Amino acid sequence: MERTRKQLRSSARRKYLLALGEFVDGYSFTEAVWHWALRKWAGIDQNITRAMTGGIRGGEVLSALKRILKVVNIDKTINQEISSLIEQFNTISEFRDRLIHRGAHYDPDFSRLISTNEYYYKVREDFESLTFGISDIENAHNDVVMIGLRLILCALPEDSSGAEQLKKNVMKWTHAPWRYKRLRPDTPNLASKVKEDSKTRAPASRVGASDNRVGPAQSIDLVTQRRKIRAIQTLSGPFL
């Protein structure tokens, strides 16, 4: 019995670390795309843009990009697309920050993962616990890679060879519905606040829910497609 339990724990741990690693890798890919897009839309010498923006945090990159897009001549549809990408990226960033800075552990049945701020909160009322599954990490990974690919398509001229190659490889993924849904942490010491927030926040994603889920084969396929994109980076400048 104990041996079986150890095997379950080991198997579950491997699945979590694999999903987390893919997610972090995909997130870093899209972070690089945001930096690339900022330099591209800034409209000035890339070396000057690098000197001004190199090393700044992701949130600062997005803020700078939004300011630039307000003053440059850009198609309204593309502007709306970028706003949608930023909104979903910020949602995923909340999830990513919790996993990276707080970690996670399995429940006794190894069916769900739990991430808490038990060792970080200042007062008892600040305690929160987030429950999620491997599918939530996979969905966040798929979405964050999709964000990067869609951003590249926004920034590249439509008639460029890089854009054509990108569309050929990943078009079937680029405008699928978002798979990751914002997860709402439990705050047992702030019951009244939870009730108030539930009136304004979107419903939390639940483990095992069927909405916009993607199977393992599709997740692997998307990773493969992203690797293809990296292989054609020389087609259209410093990024692609």
pLDDT tens figures, 51-85: 777 777 778 888 888 888 888 878 888 888 899 99
Q: Taking 90 as the threshold, does the pLDDT of residue 132 lie above it? A: yes
Across the chain, which distance is largest between two alpha carbons, in Å?
66
| Distance separating alpha carbons of residues 52 and 163, to the nearest angstrom | 28
Query: Who's near 36: CB < 8 A, 6+ residues apart?
Result: 155, 238, 239
| Distance separating alpha carbons of residues 70 and 119, to the nearest angstrom | 41
Amino acid at 16: Y
pLDDT score of 162: 64
Q: Read off the pLDDT band of 92 (50, 70, 90).
A: very high
Query: Who's near 33: CB < 8 A, 6+ residues apart?
Result: 147, 148, 151, 152, 239
Q: Taking 80 as the threshold, does the pLDDT of residue 188 lie above it? A: yes
Lowest mean pLDDT among 103-117, 182-196, 226-240: 226-240
pLDDT score of 51: 79
Query: Who's near 62: CB < 8 A, 6+ residues apart?
Result: 34, 86, 89, 90
Q: Choose among 118, 133, 88, 93: nearest CA to 187.
A: 118
| Distance separating alpha carbons of residues 151 and 81, to the nearest angstrom | 8
Question: Up-side HSE of residue 155: CA atoms within 13 Å toward CB?
Answer: 25
Per-residue model confidence as pLDDT tens digits over 154-171: 887 766 666 676 666 666
> Which residues are paired to 131 by β-bridges?
114
Sign of the C-alpha dihedral computed for residues 183, 189, 191 and 197 taken in this order: negative
The residue among 196 and 24 whose pLDDT is bigger is 24
> What H or E segment, with its residue span, contains residue 90?
helix 76-102
pLDDT score of 237: 42
Q: Choose among 144, 173, 175, 156: nearest CA to 235.
A: 156
Would the pTM of this model clear 0.75, i.e. be above it? no
